[in-house]
Amino acid sequence: MNANKHTAHDLQLAGQMRREDYKTIKHMDKATLAAYLSRVWKRGYDAGYQAAVKSVAPQLREAAELKAAGKEG
In a domain, 5, yes or no: no
Stated as kind and residue range, the H or E segment containing 25 is helix 19-26
pTM of model > 0.85: no
In a domain, 3, yes or no: no
Q: Which domain holds residue 64?
A: 18-72
Tens digits of residue pLDDT in 14-39 = 778 889 989 999 999 999 999 999 99
Would you give the end-to-end CA distance of the chain in angstroms? Answer: 44
Number of domains in the chain: 1
Q: What is the pLDDT of residue 55?
A: 83
- Say if 59 falls within a structural domain: yes
